Amino acid sequence: MTSAAVYMRLLRYLRPYVPQTIMAVACMLLATSASLYVPWIVRDVIDGVLVNKDILLLNAITAGIVVVFALRGFFVYGQNYLMAYVSQKIVIDLRESLFRHFQRLSVSYFDRSRTGKVLSYMTNDVGALQGALAQNVIELSTESLTLIGSLVAMFYLHWQLALLTLITVPLVAQAMKLFGAKLRKASGAMQQRAAEITSVLQEMIVSVRLIRLFVREEYETNRFMRENDNNFTAQMKAAQLSATLSPVIEFLAAIAVTVIIWYGGREVINGNLTSGSLIAFLVYAVNISNPVKRLGNVYGNIQRAVAAADRVFEVLDTLPEIEDAPDAMELSVVKGDVSFNQVGFEYRAGEAALKNLSIEIPAGQILAIVGPSGAGKSTIANLLPRFYDPQAGAICIDGVDIRKVTVRSLREQIAMVPQETILFNASIYENILYGKLDADKASVIEAAKAANAHDFILQLPDGYETQIGERGSQLSGGQRQRIAIARAILKNPRILILDEATSALDAESERVVQDALDKLMVGRTTFVIAHRLSTIQRADKILVMEKGRLIECGRHTELLDAGGLYCKLYSLQTEESL
């Protein structure tokens, strides 16, 4: 997109606040007019009062000055307040649309992106946009008005002198053009570097244990220092450009002032201009050098905003890979038959994670999936709630292709206890309640009991109200897992996916939780992924996966008799426990 297109799109965010913006611009017009009037007063004071020694006029002018400045103050207040209002509103709106868009984006987007980058869009980029719209609109109008008003006054006072002053204009325009493109590039780089800093910081916080354990503090600090230095370089590059731009423009302005004094002074001496008018003319001329310089600033701000907006819009324009089909139906109450028909899937092109997988699970049955690490077990679990769509084949629930129903209604039928437990920085109660937001307290406790979590929860200082820290860091792995199980139990879905759901539990807890899960599985279609084969012997069907392929399939005893990979894995595990 070109700068202009980006900026026009940005301006659309101003639309809901047109009345406030108009009011702000009105305040600005009045405040600027008041400022423009001041040199005129100066002229009257010099020519009328000082030359003619008129006391009455002096009194009138003095009173006039007080009134003009009082009014000006009032309008400046209005302009600043309203503009702050509009700016903040726009920031809120932008953040909200970004957040909403992040909620729509597919899991794969977050696989690809670094968290710190995503954070930076929200903070640095939206922050950079904050002033860009409202503030720039105001500055642009103030400065343009000052410029035009001053020019009109100058032409009125002495048009030849005014024309002479204007010779500097093309020079200034050329300078701005030269710097503009460079400024935009430098600003883009600056924001990019700021995002890197956020990334490194965020990764440091998440991996603090790892860093301590491997004593990599120095290494991480160096990594951060590198990014910090890069950021410094980028900032300085932009600062250097801005710093060069203003003196250049100021120098051109100084030349103009010199010309005015030289030529204007001759005109006063020759009697073609009053001294008051020359002074007023000078004040107006200095007045226009300000807008010219400021317009340069505004121009820089706009370039910076466009660079930030470019990135924000890029996120907003990223289409979610998984979305409801236009004619998607609601998947209402399901029986729970699940089938995979010749499903092929790859996370990255050319690296198949599942190959030609076909399975049938009648409603209410338990399907176990076993196989070595990386075989594609969790991938099967990821495809069912449509975290990803397979590239080949189809997955059906009750015979309906899951791509033909709304994502929401599909996910409402499914609960998953994922391999890596995900908990929020909230109370235990809230974490369980997440499974069904309108559940009452009794059901939450019942779910916790079923997950064998109730007892340990009561032993915590605040019971169910205990805050568990970020990602549940104040709980043990097994405790976290039991809370995740309670959450799934509370959701009470037709289809249940347990991905190593009891892997972090001791033998005793596992037995209790397994009992609870056994009860829970009754009447539901259940996917159980397990490394410990003892937990899945009762499954109706066991899939043995290897490198994305289904290599064996059957009941426990059948697979043992067949003497394949399952038999081998099983005998290895039973030997271990002997």
Ligand X SMILES: Nc1ncnc2c1ncn2[C@@H]1O[C@H](COP(=O)(O)OP(=O)(O)OP(=O)(O)O)[C@@H](O)[C@H]1O
The listed partner (ligand X, Mg ion, none) that binds 477, CB under 5 to 8 Å by sort, is none
DSSP 3-state assignment of 536?
helix
Residue 375 contacts which entry, Mg ion, ligand X, none (Cβ below 5-8 A, type-dependent): ligand X
In the bound state with ligand X, the residue whose beta carbon lies nearer, of 282 and 504, is 504
* Cα distance between residue 250 and residue 248, in whole Å: 5
Which region, judged by CB under 5 A, interacts with Mg ion, from 103-111, 158-166, 170-178, 419-427?
A: 419-427
136 binds Mg ion (CB under 5 A): no
Q: Is the Cβ of residue 135 or residue 379 nearer to ligand X in the bound state?
A: 379
∠ CA 548-554-557, rounded to 5°: 130
Question: Among residues 356 and 443, whose Cβ is nearest to ligand X?
Answer: 356
297 binds, among ligand X, Mg ion, none (CB under 5 to 8 A by kind): none
Contact segment (CB under 5 A) with Mg ion among 217-225, 301-309, 418-426, 543-551 equals 418-426
Closer Cβ to ligand X, 143 or 499, answer by number: 499
For residue 164, give the nearest of 280, 262, 29 by alpha carbon.
262
Beta strand spans in 426-470 (E): none
Binding mask 501-520 for Mg ion (x = CB under 5 A): --------------------
Q: Helices 507-521 and 477-491 meet at what angle, rounded to 10? A: 10
Which residue shows structure tokens 């909200």? Answer: 96
Cα dist from 274 to 91, 258, 265, 516, whole Å? 51, 18, 10, 100
Q: Which is nearer to Mg ion, 378 or 525 (CB)?
A: 378
CA 119, 123, 124, 125 dihedral sign is: positive
Whichever of 137 and 545 has its CB closer to Mg ion, that residue is: 545
> CA angle at residue 525 from 519 to 531, to 5 degrees?
75
353 binds, among Mg ion, ligand X, none (CB under 5 to 8 A by kind): ligand X
Task: Tell me the residue number closest to Mg ion, measured at CB.
Answer: 378
Partner interacting with residue 454 (select from ligand X, Mg ion, none; CB below 5-8 Å by kind): none
Name which of 374 and 463 has its Cβ closer to ligand X: 374
Smallest gap from residue 374 Cβ to ligand X (A)? 4
Residue type, 477: G
Binding status of residue 21 toward Mg ion by CB under 5 A: no
Shortest distance in whole angstroms from residue 346 CB to ligand X: 8
Distance CA 512, CA 35 (A): 81
- What are the helix and strand counts (H, E) for the chain? 21, 10
Q: Which of 97, 256, 54 is nearest to 166 (CA)?
A: 256
Residues at the site binding ligand X, with contacts judged by CB under 6 A: 111, 347-348, 353, 371, 373-379, 419
Q: Which is nearer to ligand X, 306 or 380 (CB)?
A: 380
4-34: b (≥16 Cβ within 10 Å) or e: eebbebbeebbeebeebbebbbebbbbbbbb
Among 314-322, 325-333, 417-425, 475-483, the segment contacting Mg ion (CB under 5 A)? 417-425
Give the integer Cα–Cα distance in Å for 58 and 322.
76
Q: Least distance from C-beta 365 to ligand X, angstroms?
A: 21
**Binding partner of residue 149 among Mg ion, ligand X, none, CB cut-off 5 to 8 Å per kind:** none
DSSP string, 111-145: HHS-HHHHHHIIIIIHHHHHHHHHHHHHHHHHHHH
Residue 212 parent element (H or E) = helix 208-213
Give min distance, CB of 372 to Mg ion, in A.
Answer: 11
- Whichever of 82 and 543 has its CB closer to Mg ion, that residue is 543
Question: Using CB distances below 5 to 8 A depending on partner kind, what does residue 376 bind out of ligand X, Mg ion, none?
Answer: ligand X
Instruction: Tell me the two tokens of residue 329.
Output: 């139906």
Structure tokens at 446: 């019942």
- Choose between 300 and 548: whose C-beta lies nearer to Mg ion: 548
Q: Report the residue from 87, 198, 303, 378 that binds Mg ion according to the rule CB under 5 A.
A: 378
CB of 353 to ligand X, least distance (A): 4
Is residue 421 a contact residue for Mg ion (CB under 5 A)? no
Q: Interface residues with Mg ion (CB under 5 A)?
A: 378, 419
